[in-house]
Each structure stands twice: as C-alpha cells, then as structure tokens.
C-alpha cells in the first residue's frame, strides 16, 4: 500500500503534467488560431529597408522637420508613424465603387480616398483601389502617410499668440480646379466648401478664407488642389526667411559611418 500510494501519486503527477502541457498547448493553439486567422500583423517590429528608415529607427534623426529640411524622399510610412504616431488622425473622405469592363463582364472594386493629419502642421492625402473595402482603406492610409507635408502657419495682423492662419495668399491647382487660400483674422474659422474645410482643419489652420475656381464638382481635384495650396505655404519665400543660414550636411553624410558599419548593409537601397 505504501508502494501503491506513491505510484499512484506518481501516475497522477505524470497525468497532471501531461494534462498541464496539453492545456498549455490548447491555450497556445487557441491563441494562435485566434490571432493567426485574419489578425493584424504586429506593427512594432519594423525592419527598415531604406537608409533613411534605418537612421530614423535608430533615433539618429530627431524630428520629421530635419527630413523636410533636406527634401529627402520618404518611402516608408513607418517613418511618419515614428514621429507623428498617435497624433495622426485619418479620415476616410469617400468610398466609391469603380468598374472596369473585362472579358468576363464588369469588375467592381472599391476606391478609398483618405486624408490624414495631426491637426498641428502636417497633412497628407492618399487614394487606393482594391476589391475589399478594408484593403483599400489600409492602402490609402499608407499612401496618405507617405504624402505628409508640413504646413506653415502665420498671423493675420498682430503677432500675438500662436500662428493661426496661412502666412500669405497661396494657390494650388489640380485639373481645372484652382484653390486660393487667403489669410483671415483670428476667430473667422474656415470659410470654404466642406471638402477643403476638412483638410484645412486637419492641417491645423484655424482661420482661412478660400476662393475656388473651376469645376469644384470634381471633389477629387478639389481636395488635391487644396492640398497643393497648403503644401505651398512652405514653398513661399517671405522676407523673414531671407537670412542666409550656413549650409548643413545631409543626414546621409552626417551618419555615413553608421550607415556603412551596419551589418546587413546589403539590404538597403541607395536612396
């Protein structure tokens, strides 16, 4: 009996451990099943493929403005996510069905128009077409992030408080639509049609008059023209920017050692 008890105990222990492993296996399986089937990919482990991406990931670049200063093209949307992250708000402007005539009949896909902005100086626009709405929206958000530009804001009259309006009259054109943004006094709000109003709000411009010409019924071109106008705010050379600053070196030059040393240098593309 004394022998039987520990044997039974041992047996129970063995069974228990097997059951425990089985339980853990079941749990793992359940977790994998739940996450594997249509789950979102983990966005935390980003492996950069461009030089700029690598610099950003390792924190060598402090802010998005350093990239804009040298007009470096941004080819990875994670770069924008890294700097603007939570502040970025995306908005689906429109989902519309588009049809294409094929041999087998008509084929309908969904086209998503997305605007993205952080309500404080950055704006982007993206459009993507796909068979599923979710894929189209996701793709459009990525393209919108890649097209993020900085927005310059200025004052209307007195330079008190924070900048609230466009610094000068700027105009953007797309297709037949041309949109003109005109500075407005504080408290005016945005005076425009609904589509540019959304864009201007997302860009962080609080007060602005607009003037649109051309067929403003094509909202796509209308939105793009507004985006072009907003982007031009930093392209306009105002007298306060006349001062000559010393020429700096681009991040690629600055961190050339870092870029050269990194193993797996085979992966990245010369940008």
Partner 1 sequence: MDMNGKNVFKSDPFPILMFNYTKPSISKQSQPVSCLKCDIIFSFPLGKEDYLGHLFLSHRLVIADVEEVALLEEYLEFWQKEFKHHEFEEYCTTMLLDQLPDGAFSKNEKYYLLSDILPEDREIRDKLKEKRLEKVLSQHQYELTDRNFERECLYCRDVISGLRSTYIEHLFSKHFLQLGKSENLVFIDELIAKVANNLEKLICLYCEKKFKDRATLKEHMRKKGHKRINPNNRSYDKYFLENYRVNNQVHDKKHLSYPHKTRQKLANKNQDKEATRPSKDSECVSFKQNQTSEDSDSDWSDWNADSLQTLTCLYCTEQCKDFNTFRQHLLAEHSFDFDSCLKGLNFYQRIKIVNYVRRQTYQHRCVTCNRRFENNNELLQHLEKETHYGVGEKKQWDKPEYFFPTYEDDGLLCILDDNPNDDMDETVVRIISEESKAEINKDAEKLSLENFNFL
Residue number, 110 or 255, with CB nearest to partner 1: 110
155 binds partner 1, rule: CB under 8 A: yes
Judged by CB under 8 A, which of 218, 232, 250, 254 binds partner 1? 218
75 binds partner 1, rule: CB under 8 A: yes
Q: Please state, in angstroms and rounded to a whole number, the distance separating the CA atoms of residues 178 and 225.
A: 6
Judged by CB under 8 A, which of 17, 63, 120, 211 binds partner 1? 211
Residue 94 CB coordination number (10 Å): 13
184 binds partner 1, rule: CB under 8 A: yes
Residue 251, helix vs strand vs coil = helix
Q: Please state, in angstroms and rounded to a whole number, the distance separating the CA atoms of residues 267 and 50.
A: 8
Within positions 11 to 30, which residues make up the interface with partner 1, using CB under 8 A? 30
Q: Please state, in angstroms and rounded to a whole number, the distance separating the CA atoms of residues 198 and 208.
A: 12
Q: Please state, in angstroms and rounded to a whole number, the distance separating the CA atoms of residues 60 and 62.
A: 6
Within positions 102 to 141, which residues make up the interface with partner 1, using CB under 8 A? 104-111, 113, 127-129, 131-135, 137-139
Q: Please state, in angstroms and rounded to a whole number, the distance separating the CA atoms of residues 124 and 199.
A: 9
Cα–Cα separations (whole angstroms), residue 20 to 5, 8, 9, 128, 134: 22, 18, 16, 48, 40
Within positions 238 to 257, which residues make up the interface with partner 1, using CB under 8 A? 238-239
Residue number, 6 or 25, with CB nearest to partner 1: 25
CB of 60 to partner 1, least distance (A): 20
Binding part of the chain for partner 1, among 17-25, 63-71, 210-218, 248-256 by CB under 8 A, reads 210-218
83 binds partner 1, rule: CB under 8 A: no
């Amino acid at each position: 009996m004394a022998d039987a008890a520990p044997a039974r105990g041992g047996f129970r222990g063995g069974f228990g451990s097997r059951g425990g492993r089985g339980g853990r296996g079941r749990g793992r399986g359940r977790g994998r099943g739940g996450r594997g089937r249509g789950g979102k990919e983990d966005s935390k482990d980003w492996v950069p493929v461009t030089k700029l991406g690598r610099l950003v990931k390792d924190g060598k670049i402090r802010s998005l403005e350093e990239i804009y200063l040298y007009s470096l093209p941004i080819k990875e949307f994670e770069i924008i996510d890294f700097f603007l992250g939570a502040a970025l708000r995306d908005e689906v402007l429109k989902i519309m069905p588009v049809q294409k005539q094929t041999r087998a009949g008509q084929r309908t896909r969904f086209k998503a128009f997305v605007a993205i902005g952080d309500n404080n100086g950055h704006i982007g626009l993206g459009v993507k077409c796909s068979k599923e709405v979710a894929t189209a929206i996701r793709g459009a958000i990525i393209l919108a992030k890649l097209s993020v530009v900085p927005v310059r804001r200025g004052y209307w009259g007195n330079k008190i408080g924070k900048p609230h309006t466009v610094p000068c009259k700027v105009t953007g054109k797309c297709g037949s639509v041309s949109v003109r943004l005109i500075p407005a006094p504080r408290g005016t709000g945005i005076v425009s049609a609904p589509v540019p109003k959304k864009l201007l709000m997302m860009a962080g411009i609080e007060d602005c008059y607009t003037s649109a010409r051309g067929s403003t019924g094509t909202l796509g071109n209308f939105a793009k023209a507004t985006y072009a106008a907003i982007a031009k705010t930093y392209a306009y050379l105002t007298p306060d920017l006349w001062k000559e600053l010393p020429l700096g070196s681009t991040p690629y030059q600055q961190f050339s050692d870092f870029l050269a040393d990194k193993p797996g240098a085979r992966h990245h593309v010369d940008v």
